[in-house]
Amino acid sequence: MTDGIETTLLLPDRCRDVYAFEDIIGLAMRISRERVSNLDLSALSFIEPYSMLSLLLLGRNHMRNTGERLGLVNIPLNIHQYLARMDFLSAGVFDVASRLDEKLLYRRSSFSNRVIEVTDIPGRERESVRAIAGVIAVFRKRARHILKYWLNTEIIDYFVTVISEVCQNIFEHSLDSGYLAMQTYSVGSEHVVRLVIMDSGIGIRESFSAREELASLAGSHVIEKALTTPISSKRRFGYGLCQVNAIIEKLKGSIYIRSGESSATVLHKQKQSGASHMFLRDDLAPFPGTQISISLFG
């Protein structure tokens, strides 16, 4: 590559789930090494909330490291409409050369009830508490639409606890700010509600670095401990992710946590006679911080 020549990288159509998006995370070093200036989104046919926020982090990390924004080019109409509606394009992370005509934008009233737009969760406690309270207020207002296929008397309060606990981890543990988004959507005949909360901070393993009994564990096993044991790097009797995992088990959902080069996937029993399963990995491409995707299927 010749210095000074603008380079565009075509992103593969890998924004359908947390596992497919690994192919795009794997491109992060190439984007830096080849001094990529634009991401071509023309191949994308679908993007779900985890992929959307991870792409936002990828762009934010690039901006922090280089002082320059990546451009987004050749955005398919449906993807552009979705990203604009979810306030992805308002985050100030990417440059978008061509804005959509206002007539083509999704109307807020026709889409709002099933989503929580991209929301910044600050890294400072006072601002973060205010942001979390705002998210919870929006969620309570829209919960009967977001959770239409799962609604019962307890589930709204369960999700309020999950949002509060995971977002609180950002200012308590990550040493960075983060993002939240939530959406209900359909894939074929299956309905999915997905809550995504993530940051690009120090990661789960580093946040427990002072705990001698965890120091020798692989990153995925530290995540496993956090999910199954009431441990906290800040509060002696903190329940955090352990409480979140217990709630999602009651709801028969799934949790995916990625941190650094490690991940843990928890698939809770879908039927009364079934069992929960956890899958651990420690061979992922490096990606700063902690990314959490919580899903229910119906």
Query: Is the domain of 53 the same as that of 160?
Result: no
Q: Please give the structure tokens belonging to residue 29.
A: 């070093």
Contacts of 49 (CB under 8 A, 6+ apart): 86, 181, 182, 183, 194, 195, 196, 293
- Pick the last residue of a domain from 88, 106, 124: 106
Predicted local distance difference test score (pLDDT) of residue 171: 87
**Which string of DSSP letters, residue by residue, matches 68-88?**
-PPEEES--HHHHHHHHHTTG
Using an 8 Å Cβ cutoff, are 211 and 238 in contact?
no
Report the predicted TM-score, pTM, of the whole model to 2 decimal places.
0.92
Residue 179 C-alpha from the chain's centroid: 7
Half-sphere exposure of 24 (CA within 13 A, CB side): 29
Query: Is the domain of 253 the same as that of 286?
Result: yes
Predicted local distance difference test score (pLDDT) of residue 101: 76
Query: Is the domain of 118 the same as that of 201?
Result: yes
Query: Is the domain of 42 the same as that of 131?
Result: no
Domain containing residue 160: CATH number: 3.30.565.10
Predicted local distance difference test score (pLDDT) of residue 103: 79
- Pick the last residue of a domain from 39, 71, 106: 106
Phi, psi torsion values for 43, nearest 5 degrees: -85, -15
Q: How many domains does the chain have?
A: 2
Predicted local distance difference test score (pLDDT) of residue 99: 81
Which residues of the chain carry a pLDDT beneath 70? 1-5, 107-111, 232-239, 270-274
Query: Is the domain of 156 the same as that of 95?
Result: no
Residue 125 C-alpha from the chain's centroid: 20
Sheet strand arrangement including 287-297? 115-121, 178-187, 190-199, 287-297, 254-260, 262-267, 277-281
Query: Is the domain of 74 the same as that of 120?
Result: no
Task: Decide if 152 is inside a domain.
Answer: yes
Question: Angle 219-228/240-250 helices, nearest 10 degrees?
Answer: 70
- Pick the last residue of a domain from 46, 79, 106: 106
Predicted local distance difference test score (pLDDT) of residue 232: 61
Task: Decide if 17 is inside a domain.
Answer: yes
Predicted local distance difference test score (pLDDT) of residue 240: 85
Nearest residue to 251 (alpha-carbon basis) of 203, 194, 171: 194
Using an 8 Å Cβ cutoff, are 146 and 182 in contact?
yes
| Structural domain of 82 | 8-106
Task: Decide if 1 is inside a domain.
Answer: no
Domain containing residue 88: CATH number: 3.30.750
Predicted local distance difference test score (pLDDT) of residue 269: 75
CA dihedral 199, 131, 182, 46 (to 10 degrees): -60
Q: What is the CA radius of gyration of the chain?
A: 19
Predicted local distance difference test score (pLDDT) of residue 192: 95
Q: Please give the structure tokens belonging to residue 188.
A: 């074929």
Query: Is the domain of 153 the same as that of 245?
Result: yes
Query: Is the domain of 91 the same as that of 168?
Result: no
Predicted local distance difference test score (pLDDT) of residue 2: 44
Over residues 68-94, the pLDDT tens digits come to 999 999 999 999 999 999 999 999 999
